[in-house]
Amino acid sequence: MNRFLLPLGIFLVLAVFLAVGLNLNPREVPSPLIDKAAPAFQLPQLHDTGRTLTPQDMKGKVWVFNVWASWCVACLEEHPLLVELSKRNLVPIVGLNYKDNRADALQWLQKRGDPYTLSAQDAEGRVGIDYGVYGVPETYVIDKAGIIRFKRIGPVTPKVLDEQILPLVKRLQG
Amino acid sequence: MLLLLTTCLPAFAKEAAPAVDDPVLEQRAMKLAAELRCLVCQNQSLAESNADLAIDLKNQVRSQIREGRSDAQIREYMVARYGDFVLYSPPWKPTTVLLWSGPFMLLIAGALALVMYLRSRRARIVTTELTADEHARAQALLGGGDRR
Protein backbone atom coordinates (compact mmCIF):
# COMPACT_ATOMS: atom_id res chain seq x y z
CA MET A 1 0.00 0.00 0.00
CA ASN A 2 2.76 2.36 1.05
CA ARG A 3 4.55 2.07 -2.26
CA PHE A 4 1.56 3.62 -4.03
CA LEU A 5 1.40 6.64 -1.76
CA LEU A 6 4.43 8.43 -3.21
CA PRO A 7 3.38 8.21 -6.91
CA LEU A 8 -0.16 9.12 -5.91
CA GLY A 9 1.14 12.15 -4.00
CA ILE A 10 3.27 13.25 -6.96
CA PHE A 11 0.30 12.81 -9.27
CA LEU A 12 -1.94 14.93 -7.04
CA VAL A 13 0.61 17.75 -6.83
CA LEU A 14 1.03 17.73 -10.63
CA ALA A 15 -2.73 17.66 -11.15
CA VAL A 16 -3.19 20.69 -8.89
CA PHE A 17 -0.43 22.62 -10.69
CA LEU A 18 -1.90 21.81 -14.10
CA ALA A 19 -5.44 22.69 -13.00
CA VAL A 20 -4.29 26.08 -11.71
CA GLY A 21 -2.14 26.67 -14.80
CA LEU A 22 -4.95 25.85 -17.20
CA ASN A 23 -7.32 28.21 -15.44
CA LEU A 24 -4.97 31.19 -15.67
CA ASN A 25 -5.53 33.51 -18.58
CA PRO A 26 -2.26 33.92 -20.50
CA ARG A 27 -3.62 37.13 -22.04
CA GLU A 28 -3.64 38.84 -18.67
CA VAL A 29 -0.10 40.06 -18.47
CA PRO A 30 0.58 41.87 -15.18
CA SER A 31 1.14 45.50 -16.07
CA PRO A 32 4.32 47.14 -14.84
CA LEU A 33 2.44 50.44 -14.92
CA ILE A 34 0.38 49.79 -11.79
CA ASP A 35 1.32 52.31 -9.07
CA LYS A 36 3.34 54.35 -11.57
CA ALA A 37 2.51 57.82 -12.84
CA ALA A 38 0.24 57.79 -15.88
CA PRO A 39 2.49 58.52 -18.90
CA ALA A 40 2.16 62.11 -20.09
CA PHE A 41 0.77 62.89 -23.50
CA GLN A 42 -0.76 65.73 -25.42
CA LEU A 43 -3.28 64.71 -28.05
CA PRO A 44 -5.96 66.42 -30.11
CA GLN A 45 -9.48 65.95 -28.80
CA LEU A 46 -11.65 63.67 -30.89
CA HIS A 47 -14.62 66.01 -31.14
CA ASP A 48 -12.62 69.19 -31.58
CA THR A 49 -9.17 68.56 -33.02
CA GLY A 50 -8.24 72.19 -32.38
CA ARG A 51 -8.19 71.50 -28.65
CA THR A 52 -5.80 69.19 -26.85
CA LEU A 53 -6.12 66.78 -23.98
CA THR A 54 -3.43 65.81 -21.47
CA PRO A 55 -3.64 63.77 -18.25
CA GLN A 56 -2.82 67.05 -16.45
CA ASP A 57 -6.38 68.18 -17.24
CA MET A 58 -7.67 65.46 -14.92
CA LYS A 59 -5.36 66.19 -12.00
CA GLY A 60 -7.19 66.25 -8.65
CA LYS A 61 -9.84 63.82 -9.88
CA VAL A 62 -10.13 60.08 -9.89
CA TRP A 63 -10.82 59.07 -13.48
CA VAL A 64 -11.31 56.07 -15.70
CA PHE A 65 -9.25 55.94 -18.87
CA ASN A 66 -10.69 53.72 -21.58
CA VAL A 67 -8.83 52.78 -24.76
CA TRP A 68 -11.14 51.88 -27.63
CA ALA A 69 -11.52 51.88 -31.41
CA SER A 70 -14.41 51.63 -33.85
CA TRP A 71 -12.73 48.58 -35.46
CA CYS A 72 -12.57 46.79 -32.13
CA VAL A 73 -15.21 44.10 -31.80
CA ALA A 74 -14.74 43.51 -28.08
CA CYS A 75 -15.38 47.22 -27.47
CA LEU A 76 -19.01 46.67 -28.54
CA GLU A 77 -19.35 44.27 -25.66
CA GLU A 78 -18.40 46.72 -22.92
CA HIS A 79 -19.82 49.86 -24.50
CA PRO A 80 -23.39 49.71 -23.07
CA LEU A 81 -21.87 49.24 -19.62
CA LEU A 82 -19.72 52.37 -20.04
CA VAL A 83 -22.69 54.38 -21.27
CA GLU A 84 -24.64 53.27 -18.23
CA LEU A 85 -21.74 54.08 -15.92
CA SER A 86 -21.44 57.57 -17.38
CA LYS A 87 -25.13 58.19 -16.62
CA ARG A 88 -24.56 57.35 -12.96
CA ASN A 89 -22.12 60.28 -12.68
CA LEU A 90 -19.81 58.39 -10.34
CA VAL A 91 -16.54 58.94 -12.12
CA PRO A 92 -15.44 60.77 -15.28
CA ILE A 93 -14.52 58.47 -18.16
CA VAL A 94 -11.87 59.68 -20.57
CA GLY A 95 -11.68 57.92 -23.92
CA LEU A 96 -8.59 57.24 -25.98
CA ASN A 97 -9.56 56.52 -29.56
CA TYR A 98 -6.73 54.20 -30.59
CA LYS A 99 -5.44 53.91 -34.18
CA ASP A 100 -8.78 54.81 -35.64
CA ASN A 101 -10.26 56.86 -38.42
CA ARG A 102 -11.81 60.00 -36.93
CA ALA A 103 -14.99 59.90 -39.02
CA ASP A 104 -15.57 56.21 -38.16
CA ALA A 105 -15.01 56.93 -34.48
CA LEU A 106 -17.44 59.85 -34.39
CA GLN A 107 -20.08 57.85 -36.22
CA TRP A 108 -19.60 54.93 -33.84
CA LEU A 109 -20.14 57.19 -30.81
CA GLN A 110 -23.15 58.85 -32.35
CA LYS A 111 -24.78 55.53 -33.05
CA ARG A 112 -24.03 53.84 -29.73
CA GLY A 113 -23.88 56.72 -27.25
CA ASP A 114 -20.89 58.67 -25.99
CA PRO A 115 -19.92 57.80 -22.41
CA TYR A 116 -16.77 59.93 -22.46
CA THR A 117 -16.38 63.18 -20.57
CA LEU A 118 -13.41 63.86 -22.83
CA SER A 119 -12.01 61.95 -25.80
CA ALA A 120 -8.50 62.02 -27.20
CA GLN A 121 -7.41 60.83 -30.59
CA ASP A 122 -4.30 58.61 -30.80
CA ALA A 123 -4.17 58.07 -34.54
CA GLU A 124 -0.65 56.61 -34.64
CA GLY A 125 -0.92 54.58 -31.46
CA ARG A 126 2.13 56.16 -29.84
CA VAL A 127 0.30 56.94 -26.61
CA GLY A 128 -1.13 53.42 -26.65
CA ILE A 129 2.42 52.05 -26.62
CA ASP A 130 3.31 54.28 -23.66
CA TYR A 131 0.35 52.84 -21.78
CA GLY A 132 1.36 49.29 -22.70
CA VAL A 133 -1.80 48.73 -24.75
CA TYR A 134 -1.78 45.50 -26.72
CA GLY A 135 -5.39 44.43 -26.88
CA VAL A 136 -8.14 47.01 -27.17
CA PRO A 137 -10.24 47.63 -25.13
CA GLU A 138 -8.13 48.39 -22.09
CA THR A 139 -9.29 50.34 -19.06
CA TYR A 140 -7.30 52.13 -16.38
CA VAL A 141 -8.25 53.73 -13.09
CA ILE A 142 -6.07 56.76 -12.35
CA ASP A 143 -6.07 58.49 -8.97
CA LYS A 144 -6.08 62.17 -7.98
CA ALA A 145 -2.28 62.37 -8.11
CA GLY A 146 -2.18 60.87 -11.60
CA ILE A 147 -1.02 57.41 -10.52
CA ILE A 148 -2.35 54.33 -12.35
CA ARG A 149 -4.09 52.12 -9.78
CA PHE A 150 -5.77 49.49 -11.91
CA LYS A 151 -5.65 48.11 -15.42
CA ARG A 152 -8.14 45.90 -17.14
CA ILE A 153 -7.17 44.19 -20.40
CA GLY A 154 -10.17 43.26 -22.50
CA PRO A 155 -13.78 44.32 -22.10
CA VAL A 156 -15.06 45.54 -18.75
CA THR A 157 -17.75 43.15 -17.48
CA PRO A 158 -20.45 43.96 -14.90
CA LYS A 159 -18.52 41.77 -12.44
CA VAL A 160 -15.23 43.64 -12.95
CA LEU A 161 -17.04 46.97 -12.71
CA ASP A 162 -18.95 46.17 -9.51
CA GLU A 163 -16.28 44.14 -7.73
CA GLN A 164 -13.09 45.90 -8.76
CA ILE A 165 -13.46 49.24 -10.52
CA LEU A 166 -16.25 50.91 -8.54
CA PRO A 167 -15.01 49.94 -5.03
CA LEU A 168 -11.53 51.14 -6.01
CA VAL A 169 -12.88 54.44 -7.37
CA LYS A 170 -14.86 54.95 -4.18
CA ARG A 171 -11.82 54.28 -2.02
CA LEU A 172 -9.62 56.61 -4.07
CA GLN A 173 -12.23 59.37 -4.01
CA GLY A 174 -12.71 59.12 -0.24
CA MET B 1 40.93 45.36 -64.25
CA LEU B 2 41.56 47.38 -61.12
CA LEU B 3 40.01 50.37 -62.75
CA LEU B 4 37.00 48.29 -63.67
CA LEU B 5 36.63 47.12 -60.08
CA THR B 6 36.87 50.56 -58.59
CA THR B 7 34.30 51.91 -60.97
CA CYS B 8 32.00 48.99 -60.35
CA LEU B 9 31.98 49.08 -56.54
CA PRO B 10 30.20 52.38 -55.98
CA ALA B 11 27.61 51.33 -58.52
CA PHE B 12 26.94 48.15 -56.50
CA ALA B 13 26.64 50.09 -53.28
CA LYS B 14 24.11 52.38 -54.82
CA GLU B 15 22.03 49.57 -56.19
CA ALA B 16 21.83 47.67 -52.92
CA ALA B 17 20.60 50.69 -51.04
CA PRO B 18 16.87 50.79 -51.93
CA ALA B 19 16.21 47.24 -50.67
CA VAL B 20 16.83 48.17 -47.01
CA ASP B 21 17.90 51.72 -46.44
CA ASP B 22 20.34 50.78 -43.70
CA PRO B 23 21.19 47.06 -43.49
CA VAL B 24 23.29 47.45 -40.33
CA LEU B 25 20.44 49.16 -38.52
CA GLU B 26 17.94 46.64 -39.83
CA GLN B 27 20.07 43.73 -38.68
CA ARG B 28 20.38 45.19 -35.19
CA ALA B 29 16.65 45.98 -35.06
CA MET B 30 15.72 42.44 -36.12
CA LYS B 31 18.12 40.89 -33.65
CA LEU B 32 16.49 42.90 -30.85
CA ALA B 33 13.00 42.20 -32.14
CA ALA B 34 13.74 38.47 -32.06
CA GLU B 35 14.32 38.72 -28.28
CA LEU B 36 11.01 40.50 -27.71
CA ARG B 37 7.65 38.81 -27.50
CA CYS B 38 4.72 39.96 -29.58
CA LEU B 39 1.93 40.49 -27.05
CA VAL B 40 -0.88 40.05 -29.52
CA CYS B 41 0.30 36.65 -30.74
CA GLN B 42 2.13 35.46 -27.69
CA ASN B 43 4.11 32.61 -29.17
CA GLN B 44 5.82 34.73 -31.77
CA SER B 45 8.60 37.25 -31.43
CA LEU B 46 8.24 40.80 -32.67
CA ALA B 47 10.54 39.91 -35.54
CA GLU B 48 8.33 37.07 -36.77
CA SER B 49 4.99 38.76 -36.26
CA ASN B 50 3.10 40.88 -38.73
CA ALA B 51 0.46 41.99 -36.23
CA ASP B 52 -0.28 45.69 -36.29
CA LEU B 53 1.19 46.29 -32.86
CA ALA B 54 4.31 44.26 -33.71
CA ILE B 55 4.91 46.44 -36.77
CA ASP B 56 4.50 49.59 -34.66
CA LEU B 57 6.88 48.26 -32.03
CA LYS B 58 9.45 47.25 -34.66
CA ASN B 59 9.30 50.79 -36.03
CA GLN B 60 9.75 52.01 -32.49
CA VAL B 61 12.89 49.85 -32.16
CA ARG B 62 14.24 51.21 -35.47
CA SER B 63 13.62 54.84 -34.61
CA GLN B 64 15.20 54.40 -31.18
CA ILE B 65 18.29 52.83 -32.75
CA ARG B 66 18.45 55.81 -35.09
CA GLU B 67 18.29 58.09 -32.06
CA GLY B 68 21.39 56.33 -30.79
CA ARG B 69 19.89 54.42 -27.88
CA SER B 70 21.59 51.23 -26.72
CA ASP B 71 20.04 47.74 -26.92
CA ALA B 72 19.69 47.73 -23.13
CA GLN B 73 17.86 51.06 -23.18
CA ILE B 74 15.44 49.81 -25.84
CA ARG B 75 14.80 46.61 -23.87
CA GLU B 76 14.16 48.75 -20.79
CA TYR B 77 11.70 50.87 -22.76
CA MET B 78 9.69 47.76 -23.68
CA VAL B 79 9.80 46.29 -20.16
CA ALA B 80 8.62 49.60 -18.65
CA ARG B 81 5.50 49.36 -20.81
CA TYR B 82 4.76 45.67 -21.19
CA GLY B 83 6.60 44.07 -18.25
CA ASP B 84 9.19 41.29 -18.12
CA PHE B 85 6.80 39.19 -20.19
CA VAL B 86 8.05 40.88 -23.39
CA LEU B 87 11.50 39.42 -22.83
CA TYR B 88 11.96 35.86 -24.04
CA SER B 89 14.78 35.59 -21.53
CA PRO B 90 13.43 36.90 -18.22
CA PRO B 91 15.83 38.72 -15.88
CA TRP B 92 17.19 37.27 -12.65
CA LYS B 93 15.24 38.86 -9.78
CA PRO B 94 13.33 37.78 -6.63
CA THR B 95 10.16 36.81 -8.49
CA THR B 96 12.04 34.72 -11.05
CA VAL B 97 14.39 32.89 -8.67
CA LEU B 98 12.25 29.75 -8.79
CA LEU B 99 11.96 29.95 -12.57
CA TRP B 100 15.71 30.02 -13.10
CA SER B 101 16.85 27.79 -10.24
CA GLY B 102 13.94 25.31 -10.35
CA PRO B 103 15.45 22.96 -12.98
CA PHE B 104 18.78 22.86 -11.13
CA MET B 105 17.05 22.22 -7.81
CA LEU B 106 15.14 19.33 -9.41
CA LEU B 107 18.40 17.95 -10.82
CA ILE B 108 20.07 18.07 -7.39
CA ALA B 109 16.99 16.53 -5.71
CA GLY B 110 17.01 13.74 -8.31
CA ALA B 111 20.72 13.07 -7.82
CA LEU B 112 20.28 12.96 -4.01
CA ALA B 113 17.34 10.58 -4.32
CA LEU B 114 19.40 8.32 -6.60
CA VAL B 115 22.36 8.26 -4.20
CA MET B 116 20.09 7.52 -1.24
CA TYR B 117 18.37 4.73 -3.12
CA LEU B 118 21.66 3.14 -4.22
CA ARG B 119 22.98 3.27 -0.66
CA SER B 120 19.89 1.68 0.83
CA ARG B 121 20.00 -1.00 -1.84
CA ARG B 122 23.61 -1.80 -1.02
CA ALA B 123 22.67 -2.15 2.65
CA ARG B 124 19.95 -4.64 1.76
CA ILE B 125 22.27 -7.01 -0.10
CA VAL B 126 23.05 -9.78 2.40
CA THR B 127 26.39 -11.46 1.96
CA THR B 128 26.74 -14.89 3.60
CA GLU B 129 29.98 -16.84 3.71
CA LEU B 130 29.89 -20.34 2.18
CA THR B 131 30.98 -23.26 4.27
CA ALA B 132 33.86 -25.35 2.95
CA ASP B 133 31.43 -28.06 1.81
CA GLU B 134 29.19 -25.65 -0.07
CA HIS B 135 32.25 -24.06 -1.64
CA ALA B 136 33.42 -27.44 -2.95
CA ARG B 137 29.96 -28.19 -4.33
CA ALA B 138 29.73 -24.89 -6.08
CA GLN B 139 33.17 -25.43 -7.53
CA ALA B 140 32.13 -28.85 -8.86
CA LEU B 141 28.94 -27.47 -10.40
CA LEU B 142 30.85 -24.68 -12.12
CA GLY B 143 33.17 -27.09 -13.88
CA GLY B 144 35.45 -28.16 -11.05
CA GLY B 145 39.03 -27.61 -10.12
CA ASP B 146 40.89 -24.41 -9.85
CA ARG B 147 41.17 -23.95 -13.55
CA ARG B 148 40.26 -20.49 -14.57
Summarised one tens digit per residue, pLDDT across range B17-33 is: 334 578 888 899 999 99
Question: What mean pLDDT is reported for chain A?
Answer: 92
Q: In this predicted structure, what is the pLDDT of residue B12?
A: 43
pTM beyond 0.80: no
Mean pLDDT calculated for residue range B36-57: 87
Last residue of a domain, one of B74, B90, B106: B90
Q: Which of the two residues, A8 and A27, has the higher pLDDT score?
A: A8
Q: Is the pLDDT confidence value at B50 over 90?
A: no
Same-domain pairing of B7 and B70: yes
CA distance A145 to A55: 10
Strands (E), chain B: none
B56 and chain A: CB distance < 8 Å anywhere? yes
Domain that includes residue B123, residue range: 95-141
> Where does A41-165 have alpha helices with state H?
73-87, 102-112, 126-130, 158-160
Same-domain pairing of B82 and B38: yes
Q: Which residues contact B139 (CB under 8 A, 6 or more apart)?
A: B145
Does the residue B147 lie in any domain?
Answer: no
Q: In this predicted structure, what is the pLDDT of residue A16?
A: 93
B4 and chain A: CB distance < 8 Å anywhere? no
Does the residue B124 lie in any domain?
Answer: yes
List chain A residues with CB under 8 Å of B79.
32
Percent of chain A with pLDDT over 90: 83
Q: Which domains does chain A have, with CATH numbers?
A: 32-173 (3.40.30.10)
ipTM of the shown complex: 0.77
Same-domain pairing of B16 and B81: yes
Q: How far is A133 from chain B (nearest CA, A)?
A: 8
Q: In this predicted structure, what is the pLDDT of residue B1?
A: 44
Same-domain pairing of B52 and B104: no
Contact (Cβ atoms closer than 8 angstroms) between residue B46 and residue B37: yes
B85 and chain A: CB distance < 8 Å anywhere? yes
* DSSP annotation of B40: S
What does B117-141 look like in DSSP terms, one character per residue?
A: HHHHHHHH----PPPHHHHHHHHHH
**Count: domains in chain B:** 2
Query: Is A153 exposed, middle or buried, given 0-12, 13-18 or 19+ CB atoms closer than 10 A?
Result: buried
Last residue of a domain, one of B90, B109, B131: B90
What does B75-87 look like in DSSP terms, one character per residue?
A: HHHHHHHH-GGGB
**Using the beta-carbon criterion (under 8 Å), do A135 and B85 form an inter-chain contact?**
no
Q: How far is B54 from chain A (nearest CA, A)?
A: 9
When pLDDT is cut at 50, 70 and 90, the band that residue B11 belongs to is very low
In A, minimum Cα distance to B83 occurs at A32
Contact (Cβ atoms closer than 8 angstroms) between residue A42 and residue A76: no
CATH code of the domain containing B59: 1.10.8.640
Summarised one tens digit per residue, pLDDT across range B97-130 is: 888 899 999 999 999 999 999 999 888 888 778 8
Q: How far is B97 from chain A (nearest CA, A)?
A: 18
Same-domain pairing of B122 and B72: no
Same-domain pairing of B48 and B35: yes
When pLDDT is cut at 50, 70 and 90, the band that residue B83 belongs to is confident
Summarised one tens digit per residue, pLDDT across range A145-154 is: 999 999 998 9
CA distance B3 to B8: 8
Mean pLDDT calculated for residue range A135-146: 93
Same-domain pairing of B6 and B61: yes
Same-domain pairing of B67 and B130: no
Summarised one tens digit per residue, pLDDT across range A55-109 is: 999 999 999 999 999 999 999 999 999 999 999 999 999 999 999 999 999 999 9
Cα separations in angstroms, B59 against A140, B37, B64, B80? 26, 15, 8, 17
B98 and chain A: CB distance < 8 Å anywhere? no
- Ramachandran assignment for B20, one of left (phi > 0), alpha (psi -120 to 50 degrees), beta (any other): beta
Q: In this predicted structure, what is the pLDDT of residue B14?
A: 40
- Say which amino acid occupies A130: D
A7 and chain B: CB distance < 8 Å anywhere? no
When pLDDT is cut at 50, 70 and 90, the band that residue B145 belongs to is low
Q: Is the pLDDT confidence value at B4 over 50?
A: no
